[in-house]
Structure 1
Amino acid sequence: MVLASPKDEHEFPPADPRVHSAPQTMLAVVVGAILVVGVGYLDHKTDERLAFEIFYLPVVLWASWYGGFIAGLVAAVSSAGTWALNNWFDRPAPLSELLLFWNVSVRLIYFAIFAFMTARLRGAMELNRALSRTDSLTGLANHKSFVEQTNRELVLSRRHKRPMTLAYIDCDHFKVVNDTMGHAAGDTVLQTIGKTMLATVRESDVPARLGGDEFAVLLPETNAANARSVVERLREQLLEMMKDNDWPITFSIGVVTFPTPPESCTAMTRTADKVMYTVKHGSKDDVAYAVAE
């Protein structure tokens, strides 16, 4: 069996990370073009002896920040072209074609570099934000993010008077894998669990790694009957993946449905944890269900 190594966490972010949707990029391109035209008009009305190209730069930066490098590059090309047109027609003695080409090229490179650097900065910020909320090994929400999302769902559950369910999952015999196969194998097990959870739970659910070999899944607006269906499907998929890889891992799961939301995520987790330990200290490899009063 080939063990996959975790992705390098220190990889520098791409210039145009996927933090901008296609409509967002298109909107930034259109708005950026309109702003360039506005700046170009002011450039046209300004004394030709006044250096005006610096005022194109905020447009390039704005487009790069909100639309990504592609939108920023479009704004850079538009800005350099608009500046060139103004310089060609507005100067008493128009520049030669060679000199104009050189000046436009210099400004285009100048604008494009700023577009690239701005997109890089936005990418780094988004990457850091994602890493602060995501477990780097499994790709699931980390404990901090899970608490934040659960507390938000608690507010909505109280407002709309809808139930919610929490499944607390502990890996049985995980220490055996670490001791006999090595920690790299243990990491691969955790990664596989994370991928399986993401592929199996519903889009509205919140799967998370709480720490070590303990996981949780928040099921918003889910009653006991529906929770049983989701959890049984997830458990079946997890056990199948463990069997396919010859890992001696099973799962002790505690599932608690809250008809009335508790005061906090901590209270929910504590309750589900107690239910899970009734399985952990018993037969293991099972699910215990409960409804909070």
Structure 2
Amino acid sequence: MTLRPRRARAAAAALLLAAAVFDFVSGPVVSPLLLYMLATCGAAWLLGERAGYAVALLAETLMILIGLWHPLPAAMIGLGPIIWNMSGRLILLLLLALVAHALRTALALERWSAETDSLTGVLNKAAFFTRLAPKLAMARRRGRAVLLAYIDLDGFKQINDKHGHAAGDRVLQSFAGVAAAALRGDDLFARIGGDEFVALLTVRHCDEGEQVAESLHDRLSRALAATGFQVTCSMGVLLLPNERIDPADSFLDWADKLMYEAKHGGKNCLRIARADLTGRLLRDAFPLPVDAAFDALIDALDDAPPAVERAA
């Protein structure tokens, strides 16, 4: 469960207030400790360890003040037991805050490990495909076009063969770091194979998408050149206007074919297909000969009907 900071603070305050009201109304007969424990755990889970400790201290203070409002006869308890109870409650609440925060951190780390490529720190293949359809659906709702890029490193195998896998790992890490920095926080970027990456970006329209694709390829090419190795990147980009977005379609396969066309065109190339172009216009965008697979891709883009809204 993830809440924005303002809502998380409001939720923690509401839990603490509910515990205090119950404590005041019920008097000394019914213990409110369970509600204070829930408030402490909630604060530590939603806001962090320090917030949990702060709520624990505030909860104990409230219990003391409300206890003074509804005092029991001193002869029935005695000062020693009162101090013992106060100390025990505070230690318990502090420990609960520590445990709740540690559990939240462990779960977040486990989720990060399950979604992240261990070498490069970007999304892994499974996480990318999990997020792909919701991202396409969101772009459709917001009236945005999408840019789907399939990227493959040229000459990467030679780096591993000549310089060792450690050098290859450094190239992949450098490449992924530059690519991730070039994208916005809500864009998707993942490593889906040894030296293969994919990216999904939203743009206002396909004309802007062409500019973004060219800029991204240029930036990645310069980053690879800076590694000092003879490695470049071939990139296939599929641009989909809003009306052609359908989360159920296998758009990644089309971008993959475009990437292979870039490799056949001499490597270190960028191939862009726009689904808002049809027939001859799309074919004229590719002056080099294309193979049967890419020819079929053009036909598919030309013949596919516009996507339709689906009921939620």
Q: What is the TM-score when the length of structure 2 is the normalising length?
A: 0.76
Of the three residues 185, 195, 198, the one matched with 2:167 is 185
- Give the number of equivalent residue pairs: 272
Give SS of 2:244's match: coil
Identity in percent: 32
Q: Pick 1 or 2: higher relative contact order, CA cutoff 8 A, min separation 6.
A: 1
1:207 counterpart letter in structure 2: F
Q: Which runs of 5+ in 2 are unaligned?
A: 276-300, 302-312
CA RMSD after TM alignment? 2.7
Which structure has the bigger radius of gyration?
A: 2
After superposition, the Cα gap between the structure-2 partners of 1:100 and 1:252, relative to the gap in structure 1 and judged at 3 Å, is same
Q: Is the 8 A contact 1:166 1:218 kept in 2?
A: yes
The secondary structure found in structure 1 opposite 2:99 is helix
Runs of 4+ residues deviating >4 angstroms: 19-22, 86-89, 94-99, 157-162, 262-266
Q: Read off the aligned partner of 2:251 and give its amino acid letter.
A: M
CA distance in 1, matches of 2:221, 2:183: 15
- In the TM superposition, what is the alpha-carbon distance from 1:262 to its structure 2 partner? 5.3
Q: Distance in 2 between matches of 1:179 and 1:104?
A: 67
2:51 paired with 1:71: yes
Aligned to 1:84: 64
Question: Structure 1 regions of 5+ residues with no counterpart?
Answer: 1-18
Partners of 2:248 and 2:223 in 1: how far apart? Answer: 29
What amino acid does structure 1 have at the position aligned with 2:36? Y
Residues 157 and 238 (structure 1), Cα distance of their counterparts in 2 relative to 1, 3 Å cut: closer
Residue 254 of structure 1: SS of its match in structure 2? strand
- Distance of 1:203 and 1:83 partners within structure 2: 44
Alpha carbons of structure 1 residues 161 and 76: separation in structure 2 relative to 1, 3 Å: closer
Map 1:250-269 onto structure 2 (within 5 A): 250-259=232-241, 260-261=243-244, 263-264=246-247, 267-269=250-252
Flag the 1:155–1:22 CA change in 2: closer, same or farther, 3 A: closer
String of CA shifts for 1:238-286, please: whole Å, max 9, x gaps.
2222222212210001111123435446621111111110121331011
Secondary structure at the residue paired with 2:250? Answer: helix
Query: Does the alignment pair 1:153 with 2:135?
Result: yes
Contact preservation (8 Å) 2:140, 2:245: no
Q: TM (normalized to structure 1)? A: 0.80
Q: Which amino acid aligns with 2:72?
A: R
Whether contact under 8 Å (2:52, 2:94) holds in the other structure is yes
- The question of whether the paired residues in 2 share the 8 Å contact of 1:174 and 1:186 is answered with yes
CA drift of 1:190 comes to 1.6
Shift of 1:118: 1.0
Q: Render the CA deviation track for 1:192-238: whole Å, top value 9, x for unaligned.
A: 12211121123443222222211111122453321222122222222
